Amino acid sequence: MNRKKKWYDYLWLVSLTYLILGFFNILFAWLGLFCFFIPLLIAIINGNKAYCNKYCGRGQLFALIGGRFGLSSKKDIPKWLKSKTFRYGFLIFFLTMFCLMLWNTYLVFAGNNDLNTVVTLLWTFKLPWHWAYHGTLFSAGVAQFAFGFYSVMLTSTVLGLFTMILFKPRSWCVYCPMGTMTQLICQAKNHNTAQEN
């Protein structure tokens, strides 16, 4: 019997709305920080991956597109994608790219670089995105961060869709950098709790 839907079962709408809003106004990309900090806070405070298991709208979106709409091959994900070596390596790579994005944002804030109105997909392909920028009352660095962060969110979505098609719908969740980080936090917190007891 199907369980009754909860409010958090519809968070895929939040992820979809985020991507659409960023297409029309890049400053909405700042809202993505909620998806960055909330999982970390839940892991730090509760010592579990409730965000990944219940509240991740992106995972729900992949489950919907791949599962209900049948766009997934539903094959098992390869062992190498599940390995610690790949997951930790991808996390390090992802964080490195994130830090480079922050550095570029700083350079615009400092006035050393001009605002670059592009979205970089898969850390390689620079897509013109100038129509989504309508000016800001703040420093151009605010917009530069938005372009950079939206690039990160769009890239992870594309990777998730790609692995969804090739494998099971939520294959992205296996190697998602946020999932890996929250897992490490949970392991550390639970280890410290066990030692205290």
Each residue's pLDDT tens digit, 71-94: 999 999 999 999 999 999 999 999
pLDDT of residue 36: 93
Q: Residue 165: name the closest of 86, 62, 57 by CA.
A: 62
Q: Is the confidence at residue 32, as pLDDT, over 80? A: yes
- Dig out the tokens for 54 from the structure: 């219940």
Higher pLDDT, 192 or 165: 165
Q: What is the pTM of this model?
A: 0.93
What confidence tier does 3 reach under pLDDT thresholds 50, 70, 90? Answer: confident
Q: Is the confidence at residue 70, as pLDDT, over 70? A: yes
Residue 91 DSSP label: H
pLDDT of residue 188: 92
Burial group, residue 148, by CB count within 10 angstroms (0-12, 13-18, 19+): buried
pLDDT of residue 125: 95
Q: Is the confidence at residue 2, as pLDDT, over 70? A: no
pLDDT of residue 196: 67
Write the pLDDT tens digit of every residue in 164-186. 999 999 999 999 999 999 999 99
Q: Is the confidence at residue 1, as pLDDT, over 60? A: no
The torsion angles phi and psi of 119, rounded to 5 degrees, stand at -110, 125
Write the pLDDT tens digit of every residue in 104-156. 999 999 999 999 999 999 999 999 999 999 998 999 999 999 999 999 999 99
